[in-house]
Structure 1
Amino acid sequence: MDIAVIVALVMFCGAFFLLFIGAPISISIGLSSLCAMMLILPFDGAVLTSAQRVFVGLDSFPLLAIPFFILAGNLMNNGGVAIRLINCAKMLSNFLPGPLAQTTVVANMLFGSISGSGVASAAAIGGIMSPIQKKENYDPAFSAAVNIASAPTGMLIPPSNSLIVYATIAGSVSISALFMAGYIPGILWGLSVMLIAGFIARRRGYVAISTTKKGERRRTLLDAIPSLMMIVVVIGGILGGVFTATEASAIAVVYSMVLGFCYRNLKMADLPTIFLATAKMTAIVIFMLAASSIMSWVMAFTKIPALIASGLLSFTDSFLVILLIMNLVLLVVGTFMDPTPAVLIFTPIFLPICTQFGMDPVQFGIMLVFNLSLGTITPPVGPILFTGCKVGNINIEGVIKPLLPFFAVILVVLMMVTYIPSISMALPQAMGLVK
């Protein structure tokens, strides 16, 4: 048997076994990769190389954007931004069937596009909207399903930590291009959820009990403008070449902190708790990046991606079928693995195959993140699923059935993103970010 096959079996089977017995993802990846490396290097060489790869994998300026965007999201979550975005979303969607459900979707898209975190969106928006919907006799399972189904839009609509991780692993992929490429797929995701939510709401007779007066609409919009301006400042600055994505993340922190103090929802006494929560979350992500860099080196050294590519090509030479297989694999993986380690593992495996068939790395990145975002709302891991159920005060069994129609329509959007390149590439090409 080829040594590359043995290494791959040891590495992947070892990682899945460790995950199965409850080991943390980063430990599972790092330890199994070290064991695999010992098959091709002496013990001391394997340990030394692993240590070097840990530092080399983290020696990246763009990665600094991740802790800053996490901190910005935490500051906004505690700084009164969510409630203002919800009020703005309610004003924008009050004329649609099931206005409170539609408000949840629009608010998740707005908050997610600012915080870059689906879990933060589900917690912030769901925590505020669930009691309001319950008061207006919305089914709690339906309300939770809408919140869960729409929260992952923030993982596609920039700024997105998953896209930053992908850009780092993929190499010469522009973060600006990825950010622009995420807009249309993320918006299509949100619109598809709104479509199903509106259809169900119309059948159940969910209508608005109160209306917003003209003067209140103006005040609501003016109150939300400072929060919405963060999107303009961060994304506009990146596209205009004023600052890099990493510098934009630092600016987002300052902006969200000033905004929280101006809204008087954020106090100096809150900052230590927010900084500690950010440090814990950042440590988890960064340690996973460090451990996965060992796996990436082993795969590159033994040419495992080329082995997998040849295996796929021996099965079929149709790129359409290969893309379908990739989607199925990623959908299954996403059900039990967080997006960040999955991006780290599968980018070096699948990206060379896609580029070999002429697929742009930007489109592949959006397809990859879209796929793995679906995993955040599916059991058994599903962090957004668990968060949405917790804030909606409903058990997972009760929300699965209402979630199925949303899942089905999101799958349709995924197929569109996979097989229609212009959905991802139109904006980056129009702005000259890609050829």
Structure 2
Amino acid sequence: MLTFSIFAVLIGLLAINVPVVAAIGLTSVIFFALLGQGSFLAMLPHRMYFGTTGFTLLAIPFFILAGNLMNTGGITRRIFRFAGAMVGHIPGGLGQVNIVASVIFSGMSGSAVADAAGLGQIEHKAMVDDGYDPVVSASLVAASSVIGPVIPPSIPFVLYGAITGVSVARLFMAGFLPGIIMSLGMMAALAVLAKRRNYPCSACRTPAREAWASFRGAFWALMAPVIIIGGIMTGFFTPTEASVAVCIYAAILGFAYRDLKLRDLPGILFASLHQSVSLLFIIAAANFFGWLIIHQKIPDKIIAGLVALGASQAHVLLIMMAVVLLLGCFIEGNAIFLITLPIFMPVAKIFGIDLINFGVVMTLLIMIGNLTPPVGMCLFAVDSYAKVGILPLSREVLPYLAVIFAVTLLIAFVPGIALFLPRLVMGGM
């Protein structure tokens, strides 16, 4: 009953448009007061501070900054041109280019919203100019943007690792194959739709000379994922240090390409600061909420209930997935991590669910939430410039949502797919 009451109050506050951070904080304060434990509120500043001081969390503002530097520094345009030379001729044309460009960009920023807001604008304009319906174009941009946090590096993986203590490097490795499978699934779905609806595409392959020129133009941008992942795999730097390295690399490339100017830096830094503070403030409030959950022994009560019902690992996994999918319709993805993981982690351990694979599954579920109204962050990011309306965009994105959901189920119940690379490259487990 207490568990239900806590989440009823939290969802009720969110339903009346109370900001996420305020809803999380107020719920914690209300229940500590109602339970006669008001003295614990003296720990609020300490718990909020403690929640944002982990070394791993330093990676978040740096990956945000890296994405903003790339969007301003001309890197995204070069990636899009190279992707066009590679796949612009297959059914779906620029739609396929959109997906491949997002795969490449995902190896640098780790943020779905950064992809949707930056590279997405270039992709959307190019597709509309090529004859695509604006809604179709916008749906592809939104769907492909969620590839970013699955293929490493990934801000959600950093957050998950910081909360659970799971190796971020292993999470990065675990996300690679699911991300590629998701991308191939989207490309297949697009190819089918392209033939049915006669989407425009290039009649012939890009000439070899032009393809080579696009590769040369994008070469140093394409090296960014190699440097990040290669450095982490070889132990040259940690994921947190990798986030700093990619910022420096993106800035150097931006100035070298002469697309990034000194006068651009204050705006980029301020935007990155604003995004980082917004996310870290939620993390701070959620840490206090997590303390409430643990203090009231809610995970223990849930575990006892599930055991009493004779639930299997598959049943528990499906229940947790359903909860995240439901919350994803109403709450921003990072907040879902922070609200649910203090409850889910003990349950997952008791029922033998691999925490690395569970991190990938949780991230995929969060990506589905980014594409579902009324709080689909990627839908809003794309509609901010596409101006096609959230409801038409939501309908058009459904085929790609089906692909992501199918991949999520596959990864959830065939964990060997996600765990293959961590075991191969890093051993153990």
Please give the range of the TM-score, normalised by the shorter of the 2 chains: over 0.9
Find the counterpart in structure 2 of residue 21 from structure 1: 16
Which residue in the other structure is 1:327 paired with?
321
The residue correspondences of 1:24-423 to structure 2 (distance < 5 A) are 24-40=19-35, 42-43=37-38, 45-171=39-165, 173-205=166-198, 206-208=200-202, 211-423=205-417
Three-state SS of the structure 1 residue aligned to 2:235 is coil
Q: Is residue 76–residue 119 contact of structure 2 (8 Å, CA) maintained in 1?
A: yes
Q: Which amino acid aligns with 1:189?
A: M
Q: TM-score, normalised by structure 2?
A: 0.96
Q: Which deviates the most, 328-337 or 396-405?
A: 396-405
Task: Please report how far the alpha carbon of residue 310 of structure 1 lies from its aligned counterpart in structure 2 after TM superposition.
Answer: 2.3
d(CA) in 1 for partners of 2:307, 2:205? 59
**1:199, 1:191 → 2: CA distance?**
12
Shift of 1:434: 4.2
Q: Distance in 2 between matches of 1:208 and 1:66?
A: 39
- SS at structure 1 position matched to 2:388: coil
Deviates more, 1:127-136 or 1:259-268: 127-136
Letter in 1 for 2:48: V
Q: SS state of the match for residue 155, structure 1?
A: coil
Q: Secondary structure at the match of 1:156?
A: coil
Q: Residues of 2 paired with 1:10 and 1:326: CA distance?
A: 18
Deviations 1:164-203 (A, max 9, x none): 11101112x1010000001111111111111111111122
Report how many residues are paired. Answer: 428
CA root-mean-square deviation: 1.6
For residue 124 of structure 1, report the CA deviation from its aligned partner. 2.2
* Cα distance change on mapping 1:189 and 1:88 into 2, 3 Å: same
Structure 1: how far apart are the matches of 2:357 and 2:99? 25
Aligned counterparts of 1:225 and 1:245: Cα–Cα separation in 2: 23
Conserved in 2, the CA contact under 8 Å of 1:10 and 1:36? no
Once the two structures are TM-superposed, the CA of residue 14 in structure 1 deviates from its matched residue by: 2.4
The answer on whether the counterparts of 1:15 and 1:29 sit within 8 Å (CA) in structure 2 is yes
- For structure 1, the 5+ residue unaligned runs are none
Say if 2:21 and 2:281, in contact at 8 Å, map to a contact too. yes
Distance 1:11 1:251 in 2: 41
Equivalent-residue separation in structure 1 for 2:310 and 2:83 (angstroms): 47
* Cα displacement string for residues 196-234 of structure 1 (whole angstroms, at most 9, x for unaligned residues): 111111223332157522111111101111111111111
Distance in 1 (CA, whole Å) between partners of 2:403 and 2:243 is 33
Q: Is the 8 A contact 2:89 2:205 kept in 1?
A: no
The structure-2 alpha-carbon separation of the partners of 1:356 and 1:109, relative to structure 1 and needing over 3 Å to count, comes to same
| Larger deviation, residues 419-428 vs 125-134 | 125-134
Letter in 2 for 1:197: L
3-state DSSP of counterpart to 1:114: coil
Deviations 1:131-170 (A, max 9, x none): 2222322222222111111110101111111111110111
**SS where residue 186 of structure 2 aligns?**
helix
The 8 Å contact of residues 107 and 224 in structure 2, kept in 1 or not, is answered as: no
Structure 2, unaligned stretches of length 5 or more? none
Q: Distance in 1 between matches of 2:250 and 2:232?
A: 17
